[in-house]
Amino acid sequence: MVFQSERFNHGTPMIKVFSLALAALLCIGSTSTAQDAPAYQAKTATTANVSLDILGYQLSPLTVEQVQVEAEAWQDLLANANQQISNNRVLSATAPSAQLDAARQALRTRRSGILERFEVTLKALKARGGDAKSFEQYIDASTATGISLDFVMEWIMSPEGGVQFLLNILKFLLTLVVFKIISGIVSGIVRKAVSRLKGASDLLRDFLVNVVRRVTFFIGLIIALSMLGVDITPFVAALGAAGFVIGFALQGTLSNFASGLMILIYRPYDIGEVITAAGTTGKVDDMTLVSTTLRLPDNQTVIVPNNSIWGDVITNISGQATRRVDMVFGCGYSDDLQKTQALLEDIISKHPKVHAEPAPVIKVHELADSSVNFVVRPWTDTSDYWDVFWDVTRTVKDRFDAEGISIPFPQQEVHMHQIKD
The C-alpha atoms of residue 230 and residue 126 are separated, in whole angstroms, by 20
The C-alpha atoms of residue 394 and residue 407 are separated, in whole angstroms, by 13
**Alpha-carbon distance values, 325 to 144, 272, 348, 365, 398 (Å):** 88, 21, 11, 16, 20
Is residue 146 helix, strand or coil? coil
Lateral strand order in the sheet of 314-316: 301-305, 291-295, 280-287, 274-277, 314-316
Kindly give the residue spans of alpha helices, DSSP state H, lying in 95-132: 98-127
The C-alpha atoms of residue 377 and residue 115 are separated, in whole angstroms, by 91
Q: Which residues contact 186 (CB under 8 A, 6 or more apart)?
A: 212, 213, 216
The C-alpha atoms of residue 283 and residue 316 are separated, in whole angstroms, by 10
The C-alpha atoms of residue 8 and residue 362 are separated, in whole angstroms, by 139
What is the per-residue DSSP string for 6-67?
HHHHHHHHHHHHHHHHHHHHHHHHHHHHHHHSPPP---GGG-TT--HHHHHHHHTT--HHHH
Which residue stretches of the chain have pLDDT < 70? 1-38, 48, 143-163, 198-203, 229-231, 247-251, 411, 421
* Secondary structure of 281-325 as H, E, C letters: EEEEEEECCCEEEEECCCCCEEEEEHHHHHCCCEEECCCCCEEEC
Instruction: Give the number of other CB atoms < 10 A from CB of residue 298.
Output: 6
- Say whether the peptide bond before residue 358 is cis (omega within 30 degrees of 0): yes
What pLDDT sits at residue 30? Answer: 47
375: left (phi over 0), alpha (psi -120 to 50) or beta: beta
Give residue-wise pLDDT tens across range 41-88: 887 777 767 887 888 888 888 898 888 888 888 888 888 888 888 888
Q: Which residues contact 312 (CB under 8 A, 6 or more apart)?
A: 277, 278, 279
**In whole numbers, what is the pLDDT of the chain averaged over residues?**
81
**Inter-residue contact 153 to 106 (CB < 8 Å):** no
User: What letters, b where the CB count within 10 A reaches 16 and e where it falls short, cover 12-30?
Assistant: eeeeeeeeeeeeeeeeeee
Residue 365, classified by CB atoms within 10 Å of its CB into exposed (0-12), middle (13-18) or buried (19+), is middle
Half-sphere exposure of 385 (CA within 13 A, CB side): 13
**380 bridge partner residues:** 323
Give residue-wise pLDDT tens across range 285-329: 988 888 999 999 999 999 999 999 998 899 999 989 999 999 999
Give residue-wise pLDDT tens across range 323-348: 999 999 999 999 999 999 999 999 99
**Inter-residue contact 294 to 301 (CB < 8 Å):** yes
The C-alpha atoms of residue 121 and residue 206 are separated, in whole angstroms, by 52
Phi, psi for residue 374 in degrees, rounded to 5: -110, 135
**Inter-residue contact 278 to 309 (CB < 8 Å):** yes
**Inter-residue contact 399 to 410 (CB < 8 Å):** no
The C-alpha atoms of residue 191 and residue 212 are separated, in whole angstroms, by 10
The C-alpha atoms of residue 142 and residue 146 are separated, in whole angstroms, by 10
* Helix axes 64-94 and 98-127, enclosed angle (nearest 10): 160
